[in-house]
A and B are shown apart, each in its own frame.
Chain A
Amino acid sequence: MKPALKKAYLWLVFTFLYAPILVLVVFSFNASKSRASWEGLSLRWYIELFQDKAIMTALANTVIIAVVSAVAAAIVGTVAAVGIHNLKGWKKSFIMNVTYLPVLNPDIVIGISMMLLFIVVSFPRGLASLIIAHITFGLPYVVISVLPKLAQLDPQIFDAALDLGATPREAYMQVILPQIMPGVFTGFLLAFTMSVDDFVVSFFVTGNGVANLAISIYSMARRGINPKINAVLTLLFAAVAAMMYLIQKRMGKGVAKGAAEELR
């Protein structure tokens, strides 16, 4: 292929990827409610957005759920990865199969199965059930990100730490943990992303009117198009872009690249 042709094709695909987002952003500043006509620049939808309690609560819920579930998944998942790493034989393959289950299982099956569980044990559906569900599908990503880092470790490092007088806890916290930290971070990032991105599982396990952003967009979008959604999504996109930029800048390209590699 000619370089010019390659470039043109890549541009075409990027246009396809970004055009909807661009339109979303542009129309969030439109003074009119219509998408067909442009009636001048306005912050009307942003003002209405900040006055819309339902959307703001949904936004807050999304952030709370993502932070809490990703942190919990990172902690439990890292501890579990250490345990799995030390396992052998059928136990290891059994746990790995269980780990892959939520990754491979269709979202809708995860959603309805957890909904059934919550209904049958009459666990109140709402923020707590959402967080439990998000921890569950985030956990495997942490385990899968941490395991390769543990495999790269020199097994004698732990023994060396013990020989030098560290308690096992100290050896884990001060020797092992810092070395597997990039994997933990990648896992955290993946769990966080999956949580913010999720709609299907959340849709089924929520209840009592508790909504995250995806659920509230869904219910609004079914009634047609609402410029307030454009405004909130523009803010979300700005946050994502800023986060990518910050990660790249503060952590150095290495970590961001590692994360991007894991995302592939």
Chain B
Amino acid sequence: MKRNWSLYPYVIWMVLFTIVPILMVFYYSITAGEGGFNLTLSHYARVFEPLYLTVIWRSIRLALISTAVCFLMGYPVAMILANSPEKQQFSLIVLFVVPMWMNFLARTYAWMSLLETNGVVNMILGLFGIRPIAMLYTSGAVVLGMVYNYLPFMVFPIYTVLRKLDPSLVEAAEDLGANPARTFLRVIFPLSLPGVLSGITMVFMPSVTTFAISQLLGGGQFTLIGNLIEQQYLRTYDWGFGSALSIILMVIILISMGLISRSDAYGEGGGLL
């Protein structure tokens, strides 16, 4: 099997449409002005202005909150799935996947009509005599949108690891006198850490880079890094600054992914896919 021509279309395609575009973003991030080639780091310096640091901090904070909520909500789900009978497991997984097959924007939009001031949630609250609460266009709504969209990314890696977990280890812990809580804390949870780690990355990454969720559910009041990048490219046409932001975002993500994959040397994280 020595026919490497088979690689050419793929390599050419990936270089042209993945590597070259990233190099172009990099080029715009270190040059200034339309005329000529002027090297500058001013775009990167701007990122550290207080205004933008606030945006970056807000993105990280909201993404961390969403990741924590996904973890607290998702871990029990993964455990229940992994421990349910084999036949049921498959249908439960399908039930979990089906909403994901709807368009990402559709899922986000669906929450708009639920959270509106005269939407369904307030209608139900009204039945109990509670006056309408403004839920849409709050930071809570943004977090909710992130959790709703990315929860399966937390559940599946943990589920995969838990399913592979050798049941005899749990039995051994029980035989040795550990109560269920101790068995969980000392045996099950530590062994599931690779899955937890990839779950955390897979939720945190899209949450910290999103711009659609914050735009639709936050009503544009909660500018995140993603919104900032979108603004630079599509509204203020400041490609240099937008590119600097993108490069920083990309480097942060790729470094954290590299760290994660290193700590997950045995590939037990349930795969990042």
Give me the interface of A with B, judged by CB distance under 8 Å: 1, 6, 9-10, 13-14, 16-21, 23-24, 27, 34-36, 76-77, 79-80, 82-87, 95, 98-99, 101-110, 112-117, 120, 132-133, 135-136, 139, 141, 143-144, 155, 158, 168, 190, 193, 196-200, 203-204, 213-214, 217-218, 221-222, 225, 229-230, 233, 236-237, 240-241, 243-244, 248, 253, 256-257, 260, 262-264
Contacts and interface: CB of A to CB of B under 8 A. Distances in A.
A225 B113 contact: yes
B14 A139 contact: yes
B212 A218 contact: yes
Given A35-B116, A109-B246, A260 B93 contact: yes
B215 interface: yes
6 contacts: A10-B92, A98-B18, A108-B249, A109-B22, A116-B21, A199-B212
Contacts of A264: 93, 156-157, 159-160, 270-271, 273
Contact of A101 (B4, B18, B242): B18
A86 B10 contact: no
Contact of A117 (B2, B20, B99, B103): B20
Contacts of B111: 20
Contacts of A262: 273
B103 A214 contact: yes
B61 to A, nearest CB: 18
Contacts of A213: 103, 105-106
A214 B105 contact: yes
Interface in B226-273: 226, 229-230, 233-234, 239, 242-243, 246, 249-250, 253-254, 257, 270-273
A19 B115 CA distance: 12
Closest 7 pairs between A and B when the two form their complex, measured CB to CB:
A80-B10, A113-B21, A20-B110, A83-B7, A83-B6, A106-B209, A264-B156
Interface of B: 1-7, 9-11, 13-15, 17-22, 24-25, 28, 73, 76-77, 80, 90, 92-107, 109-114, 116, 118-120, 123, 148, 151, 156-157, 159-160, 205-206, 209, 211-212, 215-216, 226, 229-230, 233-234, 239, 242-243, 246, 249-250, 253-254, 257, 270-273
Contacts of B273: 103, 141, 144, 190, 262-264
Nearest to A232: B106
Nearest to A202: B105
A155 B80 CA distance: 40
B209 A76 contact: no
Contacts of B246: 108-109, 112-113
Contact of B17 (A23, A109, A132): A132
